[in-house]
Chains A and B, each alone.
Chain A
Amino acid sequence: MRRSVVATLFFVALLAAWQAMVISGRWSPVLLPEPASVAAYLWGAAADGSLFEATSVTLRRLFVGYAIGVAIGLPLGLLSSTSYFVEDTVGVLALGLQTLPSVCWIPLALLWFGQSEGAMLFVVIMGTVWSVIIATDAGARTIPPVYARAARTMGSEGFHKWTRVILPASLPFLISGMKQGWAFAWRSLMAAEIYVTILTGFGLGHLLHYGRELHAMDQVLGIMLVIVVIGLLADKALFAPWERFLHRRWGTGVKSG
């Protein structure tokens, strides 16, 4: 209870500081609109449905790209943790490409796929897959070998061993890998939506982009706020249940001191 009061007070203070800056009159309202006008924009965009439309377009792209990225990255990461061949080939490739900011994929994607959904999907997958491979690989390497030995003596091998021992044993690292992948996918998609002008559906990134073109700072700030809130909610909805399970089973996540 006390902690939520502290959090609430913090954000109220942040809003108050913003409002005070507007009242001071030092900045033009075109550059710094007051909180109420951002709220008014969001209310209007929500009322005419354009906000929900953009959000659902963006989330659809995000889920599809992320799912493909994880589906490719997870098995490759696990393989790279056990096989020198995969480690020395795909592993090295992943290490290199992971350092490439995903926005750098956009020129290539535009030339290959044009102004299309395909270009957007490609950028999201490229943003996700490498970091998932690396996180999964790093995680699977730290599994105590005694788990696999114990499982072997009880007759677990092959597919059973992978699905019932290796995969659950690396769960803590898979979750953090998938979380990292999610963050990367989200960033890549926003970059893609800002740069890829497309007619098949306006996402949040497009609204942000047009906010700038129209000098509508209330729209820019409003959409940024929505993007932040979606990121937070996704974390809570997708990963928090898994993390709670991990903490309960493994006995981790207790703050000391």
Chain B
Amino acid sequence: MQHQAARGKLVVEHVSKWFRTREAAVHALDDVSLRVQAGEFVCIVGPSGCGKSTLLDVMAGLTTPDSGQVLADGQLVVGPGRHRLVMFQEAALFPWLDVLGNVLFGLKLVAELTRRQRLDTARDYLRLVGLERFARANVHQLSGGMKQRAALARALAPDPRVLLMDEPFSALDALTREQLYGDVQRIWAARRQTILLVTHNVREAACLGDRVILMSHHPGRIREEFPVTLSRPRSINSLELASYALEITSALKGYVPEVVE
């Protein structure tokens, strides 16, 4: 499964985005620029409403920016594409399909695969996330953590160059989250896919990212950037991580006084 080391570069250039309703206009993103190298794991942290999810949507091609552009491997992003798949906060698994059917959904849209290849690939990824025994289970029978694992398998199966994760762990309990941090690090280490994770959890960002990017709100701007040089795999409970997180949190408080962690 390790065959795309050098692809998955993302460049965000001067992206601005306004949301206008009849009552108000919100400046969601203000001149945001960002470079993500192929194979890099980048986390974006900020308070709710800082536009971090909007930034992810723009990178996914789900939202068109008012100005600026996104380049994926040098190509202008004009819409969603299967080289940039998204994992959402709600697992967003399709309830009318079983677990295997969900993982197959994206694969069926890859025209050049045969039926056999799709089935084998789907089973490989279910094994990778530890759900091989639940291929025929219905979505409602899975726990929250298993749902996100299935969503991870669904997003990875079509072999995207970039995985965009929009707070996929925030609805899970602490223990399940910890397990998933381990799973994500293991899978990333094996596949070296570019991953962008948006979260409001500073510790989570420091645990997973090569870099942590700090955003502030009103308007949504990138403020600072923290490289995380701790060795991997990292534990969310380690002391070094806690001190990293503390440093980032205090920086965050400087930009967003009302944020209390």
CB within 8 Å of B: which residues of A? Answer: 144, 146-147, 149-156, 160, 164-165, 168-169, 171, 248-251
CB distance from B202 to the nearest CB of A (A): 26
Query: Do A251 and B140 have beta carbons less than 8 Å apart?
Result: yes
The stretch that binds A, out of B89-97, B121-129, B218-226, is B89-97
A171 / chain B contacts, CB cutoff of 8 Å: 96
| B94 partner residues in chain A, CB cutoff 8 A | 147, 150, 165, 168-169
Please classify how large the interface on chain B is, using the bins under 10, 10 to 19, 20 to 34, 35 or more.
20 to 34
Q: Are A153 and B95 in contact (CB under 8 A)?
A: no
Q: Is the CB of A251 within 8 A of B141?
A: yes
Which of A147, A149, A155 touches B106 (beta carbons < 8 Å)?
A: A155
Q: A146-B90, A249-B138, A251-B140 are in contact. Are A153 and B84 (CB under 8 A)?
A: yes
> Complex formed: what's the CA distance from A161 to B92 in Å?
15
Whether A153 contacts B80 by the Cβ 8 Å rule is: yes
Greatest chain B CB density within 10 A among A152, A155, A165 is at A155
Contact A249 B80 (CB under 8 A): no
User: Closest CB-CB distance, B155 to chain A, in whole Å?
Assistant: 8
Cβ–Cβ < 8 Å partners of B92 in chain A: 144, 146-147, 149-150
Q: Which residues from 127 to 157 on chain B have a C-beta closer than 8 Å to any C-beta of chain A?
A: 138-141, 154
Q: Is B109 an interface residue (CB 8 A)?
A: yes
Among A150, A154, A156, A248, contact of B88 (Cβ-Cβ < 8 Å): A150
Q: Kindly list chain B residues whose C-beta atoms are within 8 Å of the C-beta of A251.
A: 95, 138-141
- Write the chain B residue with the least CB distance to A154: B106
Q: List 15 A-B contacts (CB under 8 A).
A: A150-B86, A150-B92, A151-B105, A153-B61, A153-B81, A153-B84, A154-B109, A155-B80, A155-B81, A155-B106, A165-B94, A168-B94, A168-B96, A168-B97, A249-B98
- Pair B84/A160 contact, Cβ less than 8 Å: no
| A84 CB → nearest B CB, Å | 16
Shortest CB-to-CB span from A168 to chain B, Å, is 4
The residues of A that contact B95 with a CB separation of less than 8 Å are 169, 249-251
B198 at the interface (CB under 8 A from A): no
Q: Does B62 contact A (CB under 8 A)?
A: yes
Pairwise interchain contact B105-A154, C-beta atoms closer than 8 A: yes
Say yes or no for B82: interface residue by CB 8 A criterion: yes
Contact B88 A149 (CB under 8 A): yes
* B138 x A156 contact (CB < 8 A): no
- Which of B90, B97, B141, B158 sits near A154, CB closer than 8 Å? B158
- Which among B62, B139, B154 is the interface contact of A152 at CB below 8 angstroms? B62
Q: Does B213 reach chain A (CB closer than 8 Å)?
A: no
Q: How far in angstroms is the closest Cβ of chain B from A246? A: 9
Which B residues are in CB contact (< 8 Å) with A150?
Answer: 86, 88, 92, 94
Give chain A nearest CB distance to B55 CB in angstroms: 15
Q: Which of B62, B97, B98, B141 contacts A153 (CB 8 A)?
A: B62
A75 CA to B208 CA in the complex, in Å? 46
Contact call A153/B138, Cβ cutoff below 8 A: no
Q: Is the CB of A169 within 8 A of B62?
A: no
Chain A residues near B139: list those with CB within 8 A: 249, 251
Closest to B57 in A: A149
- CB 8 Å contact bits of B5-28 with A (1 = contact, 0 = none): 000000000000000000000000
Q: Do the beta carbons of B109 and A160 come within 8 Å of each other?
A: yes
User: Is B106 within 8 A of A146, CB to CB?
Assistant: no
B140-A149 in contact (CB<8A): no
Query: Closest CB-CB distance, A122 to chain B, in whole Å?
Result: 35
Instruction: State in angstroms the CA–CA spacing of A251 and B60 once bound together.
Output: 31
CA distance A87 to B101 in the complex (A): 33
User: Bound complex: CA of A169 vs CA of B96, how far in Å?
Assistant: 7
- Give the distance to chain B from A181, nearest Cβ to Cβ, in Å: 21
Chain A residues with Cβ below 8 Å from B82 are: 153-155
Give the CA-CA distance A171 to B48 in the complex, in Å.
34
Q: Which residues of A contact B85 (CB under 8 A)?
A: 153-154
Among A146, A150, A251, find the residue whose CB has the most chain B CB atoms closer than 10 A: A150
Residue of chain A at shortest CB distance from B158: A154
Q: Could you tell me if B158 and A249 are in contact, using CB atoms closer than 8 angstroms? A: no
Q: Closest CB-CB distance, B257 to chain A, in whole Å?
A: 33
Contact of A156 with B109 at beta-carbon distance under 8 Å, contacts A146-B92, A150-B88, A248-B138 already known:
yes
Residue of B nearest to A246 (CB): B96
